Amino acid sequence: MTTDRLTGQSATQLADMLQAGETTAVALATHYLDKIQQHWDQSVFITVTRDRALADAQASDARRSKGNLLSPWDGIPIAWKDLFDTKGNTTTAGSIVYAKAKPATRDATVVAACRDLGLVCLGKTNLTEFAYSGLGLNPHYGTPVNPCSDAVPRAPGGSSAGSAVAVAAGLAPVAIGTDTAGSVRVPASFCGLTGFKSSQNRYSKTGVFPLSSSLDSLGPLALCVDDLIVMDALMRGRSAAPIVDVDLAGLKILIPETIVFDDIDADVATCFDEAVNRLRTAGIHVSRAPFPIFQQIMDLFAAHGTPTVAEAATFHGSLLASEQAEQMDQRVRTRMMTASGFSAQDYITLQWERERLQEEVAIALDDRCLLFPTVAMTAPALAPLEADDDLFATTNLKVLRNTMLGNFLGMPGVSLPIGVDTNGLPIGALISAPYGADDRILAVAKAIEPVMQIAAKD
């Protein structure tokens, strides 16, 4: 078969093609490696593991010929955000400070789980330095340009910028990111993808470079929810993902009217309302109401700061106090330095209140899911952000505002594409559930995805 038939296929579809003998793991790996090498934007990947990918693919084809597959996705290529250790490669965390650090001696736990189930490692993708921005800019390795850009180059969303661009540009069928305040869901929204932010402790984070230990979560970016569901299983070392059907007629969705619609772009609001109307037409019970918990979170942040800045500044304390701090992206350095006035009392208050609010959310929602725009705007132009630090800071806050609420509450969530604005830039909607309800939110996302896709095609 020609490699053209591989273009635009989801990982699930590629697995079916492997099973049917329509392609091979080596053909798949070669297809994506060649596309990465030939792609006009060489800032998407920081490290390409060509030798490992081809070796992995050859081993997969050998297993297939003997009927000894490790999982239904044996032979599927995958890309990892460069926060994940891969054996023999340096983990840069998007920073030149670590560009010459010692290579990892072993794979991160989730990388090893996927390796042991037959996935083929293409390499490691670019990100905002230390994963500390929702816009995806990186002055060290270049900023991957959003493949959905119009005539103006657009931000990819961050911090999992390279992972999102790799999938959206057809350089990988699936990629893994991390999400501390929106770093999977924001780039998913900006690049027209599905993206899953898990509950914080769903996957092992051993071998994953941290930003904020209490808020960091992991998750995949892909072309469809089916891919997210399979990846969720594989990342936990499971070869199969249970399929759970959700009755749309019994589904209840709450649209919170607090915070998340403030200063929203008109096109985003219109597109979201159209998607909601389609959900109602499909028989889903949708209601709107104030959601005061969101305001409580914003008030807490205003009074005490955020756990992210406190934990990031603590983790990077030695670097911030050293001469090497001059080598950092100064926008990242400036944000971390705001922790200088952060007290132990602030941190403890935030953690206590976080636990209380997580319990309140579970009670307030009961069997309902939350739905609102993933981001209040579409992907902004890159050049103005690179030229104006104040614009960068205000835009970054706006971009992360909706998603960071879910991180503080520990809520798993899926961003789904629901349409485009007048410039053709993607718009996403975020469906979320209380902490620990990962299986349910993935099932709900799968159930409503066809309705959202209809909206996206209009």
Q: What is the CATH number of the domain that holds 262?
A: 3.90.1300.10
Question: E strands, 231-294, where?
Answer: 252-256, 285-289
Q: Are 70 and 183 contained in the same domain?
A: yes
Q: Are 49 and 115 contained in the same domain?
A: yes
Domain count, the chain: 2
Q: Evaluate whether 91 touches 84 at the Cβ level (below 8 Å).
A: yes
- Does residue 78 form part of some domain? yes
d(CA 377, CA 88): 40
- Does residue 241 form part of some domain? no
3-state secondary structure 34-72: HHHHHCCCCCCEEEECHHHHHHHHHHHHHHHHHCCCCCC
pLDDT at 3: 60
- Does residue 353 form part of some domain? yes
Q: Which residue, of 235, 258, 280, is where some domain finishes?
A: 235
Q: Are 88 and 216 contained in the same domain?
A: yes
Q: Are 113 and 204 contained in the same domain?
A: yes
Please give the biggest Cα pair distance in the chain: 63
Residues 6+ apart with CB under 8 A from 54: 26, 29, 30, 33
d(CA 315, CA 132): 13
Owner of token pair 């032979």: 75
Helix (H, G, I), strand (E, B), or coil: what is residue 372?
strand
Instruction: For residue 386, count other CB atoms closer than 10 A to its CB.
Output: 16
Q: Are 168 and 280 contained in the same domain?
A: no
Owner of token pair 């990988």: 172
Q: Are 276 and 355 contained in the same domain?
A: yes
pLDDT at 453: 81
Token duo for residue 148 = 């959905």
Q: Are 395 and 441 contained in the same domain?
A: yes
Q: For 33, how many CA atoms within 13 A lie in the half-sphere containing its CB?
A: 23
433-445 per-residue burial string, b: 16 or more CB within 10 A, e: under 16: bbbbbbbbbbbbb
d(CA 388, CA 149): 20
pLDDT digit of tens for each residue in the chain (458 aa)? 456 789 999 999 999 999 999 999 999 999 999 999 999 999 999 999 999 999 999 999 999 999 999 999 999 999 999 999 999 999 999 999 999 999 999 999 999 999 999 999 999 999 999 999 999 999 999 999 999 999 999 999 999 999 999 999 999 999 999 999 999 999 999 999 999 999 999 999 999 999 999 999 999 999 999 999 999 999 999 998 887 899 999 999 999 999 999 999 999 999 999 999 999 999 999 999 999 999 999 999 999 999 999 999 999 999 999 999 999 999 999 999 988 788 999 999 999 999 999 999 999 999 999 999 999 999 999 999 999 999 999 999 999 999 999 999 999 999 999 999 999 999 999 999 999 999 999 999 999 999 998 756 54
Tallying the residues shown for the chain, one arrives at 458
Q: Evaluate whether 215 touches 181 at the Cβ level (below 8 Å).
A: yes
- Does residue 341 form part of some domain? no
Residues 6+ apart with CB under 8 A from 455: 271, 274, 275, 278, 418, 419
Q: Evaluate whether 197 touches 160 at the Cβ level (below 8 Å).
A: no
- Taking CB atoms within 8 Å and a gap of at least 24, the contacts of 203-206 are 203/109, 203/110, 203/235, 203/236, 204/108, 204/109, 204/110, 204/113, 205/109, 206/108, 206/109
Q: Are 370 and 411 contained in the same domain?
A: yes
Q: Are 64 and 25 contained in the same domain?
A: yes
d(CA 283, CA 277): 10
- Does residue 311 form part of some domain? no
275-292 per-residue burial string, b: 16 or more CB within 10 A, e: under 16: bbebbeebebebeeeebe
Residues of the chain with pLDDT > 70, as a percent, come to 98
Q: Which residue, of 235, 267, 296, is where some domain finishes?
A: 235
Token duo for residue 219 = 């998750």
What pairs with residue 270 in β-bridges? none
Phi, psi of 310 (to 5 degrees): -65, -45
Q: Is the peptide bond before 160 cis (omega within 30 degrees of 0)?
A: no
Q: Residue 204: which domain range?
A: 3-235
Q: Are 176 and 254 contained in the same domain?
A: no
Q: Are 219 and 268 contained in the same domain?
A: no
Residues 6+ apart with CB under 8 A from 201: none
Instruction: For residue 354, count other CB atoms closer than 10 A to its CB.
Output: 19
Q: Read off the amino acid at residue 334.
A: T
Question: E strands, 146-276, where?
Answer: 175-179, 194-197, 217-222, 252-256
Q: Find the distance separating the first CA and the last CA of the chain, reported in whole Å.
A: 32
Q: Are 155 and 265 contained in the same domain?
A: no
Phi, psi of 219 (to 5 degrees): 180, 155
Which residues participate in catalysis according to the annotation?
81, 159, 183
198-230 per-residue burial string, b: 16 or more CB within 10 A, e: under 16: bbbebbbbebbbbbbebbbbbbbbbbbbbbbbb
- Does residue 137 form part of some domain? yes
3-state helix, strand, coil in the chain (%, to 5): 45, 15, 40
Q: Which residue, of 185, 204, 235, is where some domain finishes?
A: 235
